[in-house]
Amino acid sequence: MSMKKASDYNLTDPKIMEDPYEFYTAIHNDNARAVHVEGVGYWIGRMDDIKEITKNTSVFSNSYFSEGGPLPTGVSGEPLEDDVKEIFNDGPKVVNALWTTDPPKHTIHRKLVNKAFTGRWVRSMEPRIRDIANGLIDTFIHSNKTDFIRDYAVYVPMIVIAEALGMSREDAGQFKIWSDDILSGNLDVLDHNARLRVAKSFVEANKHFESTVEKRREVPKGDLITSLATAKVEGKSLDTSEVLPIVNTLMLAGNETTTNLIGNAMGLLIKSPDLMATLRNDYSLIPLFINEVMRYDAPVQCLYRIVTEDTCIGEVKISKGSNIMLGWGTAGRDPKYFDDPNKFDLYRHNAEKNVGFGFGPHICVGLGLAKAEARIAFETIFDRLKDIKLDEKADLSHIPTFATRGYQKLDLVFNSNN
């Protein structure tokens, strides 16, 4: 292992984004509490610091958008161009809600969303998730090869959440475009053209969901969007301007993140045929496997907070208005919490202590749904496909971003079980 210090790495370097784990090891070796990332903010990687910071919402706030609400403009902080502003102004009003608020407002929104995302609702979705998974496998099983990401990992969670938000399966492709653009606007550094594209998607999506919310208030259905449009907390129902950003959050969180979880999990299995055989022989181990994937190769590597007053993390002075990035992926490799953290261990006794779904008041509300989707995705794959291997021409490069982690594609060959 090289003896580079954490401060010698540049997280925005494509090589480090492709494989950040040497950088993460350096953070733990140096006990580096806050590593400056030029033009972005400070990376926080130690589990102890992350747990402290997530609890301290008054100094490390999730409300990093102005009163204009949560507009996905990229993380560079550059002022908005006039033509981009014009597009945003044309859309329905949105206010800060759920993940871009802090307690006590966040607590009210969270209660409402928790009412929709119950364990019972997730269990009721399981047969539908299995149908979706089987239907997707039907589309490629006869060709004995697949781009596992494009044909399967993308669509399992996407169709589930699209249907839950009142869209038809036929609209799933449009939903994917909106979701990817808006997610990029929340996590990546955007140039002017990218900002234009993201703003258009954001406004289109919100116009669509605004009309759906209004329809559901008049004629309720059994979907998630109805529960958001009609639920009352403390006697009040939410304004449409509050429902829309919550719907946006569910669209994003219910989508690419689970795609990356399923894809990263398959990437690990392909490199370890013994592990794949073990799971194939005992489906009850799949939940353990999912927990260890969340620790070892988290689909969301970081999320942002904004610092509301001058503060220090260790020796590092951080001034008011700075971004910090909570490195969930780095905390998963913290040797203080996980023995031999760079090793994948199916039977790790405390793998569920990972923070791959976040930590504190903003822990992922769809955690139960994501785990169910990933578990069923693999049960269904093992039921239907065997001899799964990497196509010899496969390229295993990741999407070039440090905030999320997933493969661009995963070309596999296989035989069918039936």
Same domain? For 109 and 163 the reply is yes
Is the pLDDT at 149 greater than 70? The verdict is: yes
Look-up: residue for tokens 């793998």? 351
CB 328 within 8 A of CB 358: yes
Is the pLDDT at 68 greater than 60? The verdict is: no
Q: In the chain, how many domains are there?
A: 2
Residue 375: helix, strand or coil by DSSP? Answer: helix
Domain housing 294: 63-300+356-416
Same domain? For 11 and 128 the reply is no
Look-up: residue for tokens 């791959």? 356
Same domain? For 242 and 147 the reply is yes
DSSP H/E element including 83 = helix 82-89
* Residues 399, 400, 405: CA angle, nearest 5 degrees: 50
pTM value is: 0.90
Tell me the C-alpha distance between 121 and 329, whole Å: 29
Q: What is the CATH number of the domain that holds 87?
A: 1.10.630.10
Same domain? For 293 and 247 the reply is yes
Tell me the C-alpha distance between 116 and 228, whole Å: 7
Is the pLDDT at 130 greater than 90? The verdict is: yes
Higher local confidence (pLDDT), 103 or 192:
192
Tell me the C-alpha distance between 380 and 10, whole Å: 40
DSSP string, 259-306: HHHHHHHHHHHHH-HHHHHHHHH-GGGHHHHHHHHHHHS-SB--EEEE
Is the pLDDT at 112 greater than 90? The verdict is: no
Q: Give the number of other Cβ atoms within 10 Å of residue 404's Cβ.
A: 22
How far from the centroid of its chain's Cα atoms is residue 161's Cα?
Answer: 13
Q: Which range (20-29, 124-133, 174-183, 346-355) has the least confidence?
A: 174-183
Tell me the C-alpha distance between 151 and 156, whole Å: 9
Tell me the C-alpha distance between 370 and 259, whole Å: 9
DSSP H/E element including 232 = strand 232-233
Averaged pLDDT for residues 338-353 = 97
346 lies in some domain: no
Average pLDDT, the chain: 90
Can you give the pLDDT at residue 418? 67
Higher local confidence (pLDDT), 94 or 302:
302
Same domain? For 73 and 21 the reply is no
Averaged pLDDT for residues 393-397 = 92
Can you give the pLDDT at residue 75? 73
